Amino acid sequence: MKRFVFGTVASFGFAAVIWEAFARSGFFSSALSPSLVVIVPALVQMVVSGTIFVHIAYTLYRILWGLGLAALAGVPVGILMGRFKAVERFVLPLVSVLSPIPSLAWVPVFILWFGLGNAASVALVFYAATFPIILNTWTGVRSINRIWIRAAETMGAGGGELFWKVVLPGSLPFVIAGLRQAFARSWIAVVGGEMIAATSWGLGWVIFDSKEFLRTDVMLGTLVVIGILGLGFERLVFQVVERRTVGRWGMVRTAGA
């Protein structure tokens, strides 16, 4: 633990020194690569005035809607694919063709279809998040030990019970892994979407907008916020969910458990 804290402090100290040297070297003018003395106050000012929280709220709103809809659509499709061969044969070719298309390639189309604003960003997050969820859920259902299903059937479990008590919990480690992957992809999609399908709020938008006014300090401050939020989601939300469910049931080993 001590080594971890020490290492983290040293690491960010090291990064700060490198940046400061780069900023003051005169390689770029100071308006383009501002020193930390400028970035930190810009960030503090955004926090004090509360604007950064509005941006965060907008970005999270879009990502949670998109991710939620993707989970609502992706998990059932994945489970049906795992349970019924016909569904698998129908859906799998579509998924393998659509999933390698980067979600951001759809931005221009989505702008025309949904207009600028929230709807286009949410649709983008939905597109980015759906496929990892479908593929992981499908893998999860297929990985369920057949003996469990047969045992439950022998003991007289019906379709509903089988689903809620065996299939869903059994595939949950994969479903959570899928959500995690989906989040990582959505995080990229939402920032990119906000830049191009410009609205008036959101972390991606504020970075893009700062370019117009050459506010590199605001840009870099926002970048730090994006990094901390992304890492925070990964470490706090997903690892905690994992530990509380599949980790506790002894299905996977979680970090720190």
Partner 1 sequence: MFRTPTTLYLRGAALALGQLFLPFVVVAILWEGFAIFGPFPPRLFPRIETIVSAFVRLVVTGILPLHALETLLRLTAGFLLGSLVGVTMGMLMGRYRWAEDLLVPVVSVGNAIPGLAYAPLFVLWFGLGNLPAVLLVAFSATFPVVVNAWTGVKAVKSIWIRAAETMGATDGQLFRKVVLPGALPYVLTGLRLGLARAWRVLIAVEMLTSVSIGLGWLIFGAREFLNTDVMLAGIAVIGLVGLGLEKLVFERVEKFTVVRWGMLER
List interacting residues with partner 1 (CB under 8 A). Answer: 3, 6-8, 10-12, 14-15, 28, 32-33, 89-91, 93-94, 96-98, 100-109, 111-113, 187-188, 191-192, 195-196, 203-204, 207-208, 210-211, 214, 216, 219-220, 222-223, 226-231, 234
Structure-token pair, residue 113: 């279809």
Determine the residue type at 23: A
**Which is closer to partner 1, CB of 67 or CB of 220?**
220
Q: Least Å distance between CB 31 and partner 1?
A: 9
Cα separation, 19 vs 217, whole angstroms: 13
Question: ∠ CA(65), CA(69), CA(73), 5° rounding?
Answer: 170
Tokens of 63: 């990502």
Burial of 50 from C-beta contacts in 10 A (0-12 / 13-18 / 19+): exposed
Q: Using alpha carbons only, how large is the chain's radius of gyration in Å?
A: 22
Rounded least distance, CB 104 to partner 1, Å: 4
Contacts of 32 (CB under 8 A, 6+ apart): 214, 216
Min CB(162)–partner 1 separation in Å: 27
Smallest gap from residue 119 Cβ to partner 1 (A)? 14
Minimum CB distance to partner 1 smaller for 76 or for 115 = 115
Q: State which residue, 167 or 219, has the beta carbon closest to partner 1.
A: 219
